[in-house]
Amino acid sequence: MNYFQYRVHAYRYALRELGRQIRQFALMISTLFYIFLPGLISALFFGLGRIVQNDSMQAANNVIWGYLLLQTLLLSVLKPIVLDSAHRRFHLSLLPNKRKQHLADITLVLWSHVPLWMSLVLAISMGMEKVTRAPHLILFIATQVSFAIALFYRQQGVVYALVFALALQMPATVYLISINMALLLACFIKPVSFTYQPKKMCTWVFWLLYGVSHVWSLTWRFSVSFLFIWGAFVIGHERPELLHWYTPMISSIALLLWGSLCLKTAKYLKEHRLFWLSIQQYDRAVTTQHILIFCLYLLCWLISVILLNFDMYVLITLFFAPFIQWCAANKPKHLAICWGVLVMALYLLKVLA
């Protein structure tokens, strides 16, 4: 087995493991919402279509930005799998230099880049003639590649470029060139590591420090929640009469995202249980964890209420939160089914009422 064969083997193995972990959840989502899945895939292609042809400059910029954020989130999940992060030193023990390692990394990044494949499918289906009339699509594809590769080696650069892109409003071609330039410059900015050293320690401060050191867990949850709220906000402009159907679902998805944080924090607490018991703070750490996660969910819930809609069913999702959090912390295997049952019950109630 040579190095490249090893990387493919490690990639497949880690992907299978990930699939095994999310199998129950994926099965539940596809069973509950199978009718919407073709629509979701069509919506993604529809979004790409808005990049190719759009009357509004601002809308095109927003869709490009949304796609780049979406790919950043998807690839971030796959990052440790693609890089085989746990065994990077082992790689170096096999190689005289890093060239082969980078080559394998980039090949696997592109292989894993589903949004890029979708753009390529669109470009091929459009044909050469139409593509030449929409050069910003080619630029968009190149941007997808540059942001994907940068994410793996200069993550902070991607964050800076995305923040910068949020403030820009210009024609699609200029917009894409500008954010690529911004990304290039951002890659040379020295990574900043935020350090916070509080004088007094307590469980609240502990979770604050946990958040600082696991900032990505919070960032992606905020970003995905925001993407869903933003997506519903855009659809709400086109079909405001349907908004009351979307909003409980958006709140429920945000609840699942934030509730699932309890999976991680509860596992972390269990791993360090003896430490917490040794200072007699275990129960307090558990309670504080739940209060803080609820507050984070409440923040997203409030954003969705302000931007979308408020009714009794949206309010009910807030009351589901403690139950979902308890389930994630104590019965993690039942989280998906528990969330699914609650959402089904909520919509059943809405339909019957």
Partner 1 sequence: MIEIKNLNKQFANKQVFHKYHNQFSHRKTCVTGANGLGKTTLFTLIAGLDPHFSGEILLSGQCVKSLQAQVALASDKVIFPEFLTAQQILSMASHAWRCELPLSFAQQLGFTPFLDTRVGDLSSGNNKKLQLLNAIMRRTEYLILDEPSAALDKHGVDVICQWLSDFQGHVLISSHEPEPFLDVGFVLQPLFR
Q: Which residues bind partner 1 (CB under 8 A)?
A: 197-198, 200-202, 206, 209-210, 212-214, 268, 271-272, 274-275, 277-281
Instruction: Indicate the residue among 100 and 214 with the shorter CB distance to partner 1.
Output: 214
**What's the CA gap between 350 and 224, in Å, rounded?**
25
**Least Å from the CB of residue 15 to partner 1:** 27
Instruction: Indicate the residue among 132 and 213 with the shorter CB distance to partner 1.
Output: 213
**Structural contact between residues 333 and 24, judged by C-beta atoms closer than 8 angstroms:** yes
Q: 98 in helix, strand or coil?
A: coil
Burial of 252 (0-12, 13-18, 19+ CB in 10 A): buried
Residue 14 CB-half CA count within 13 A: 19
**Structural contact between residues 317 and 255, judged by C-beta atoms closer than 8 angstroms:** yes
**Least Å from the CB of residue 278 to partner 1:** 6
What end-to-end distance do the CA atoms of the chain give, in Å? 63
**Least Å from the CB of residue 272 to partner 1:** 5
- Cβ partners under 8 Å of residue 4, min gap 6: 100, 104
Instruction: Indicate the residue among 212 and 312 with the shorter CB distance to partner 1.
Output: 212
Instruction: Indicate the residue among 206 and 233 with the shorter CB distance to partner 1.
Output: 206
Could you give the angle at the alpha carbon of 63 between the alpha carbons of 107 and 225, nearest 5°?
85
**Least Å from the CB of residue 212 to partner 1:** 8
**Least Å from the CB of residue 279 to partner 1:** 4
Instruction: Indicate the residue among 34 and 194 with the shorter CB distance to partner 1.
Output: 194
**Least Å from the CB of residue 274 to partner 1:** 5
Candidates 113, 18, 125; CA nearest to 75 is 113
Instruction: Indicate the residue among 9 and 88 with the shorter CB distance to partner 1.
Output: 88
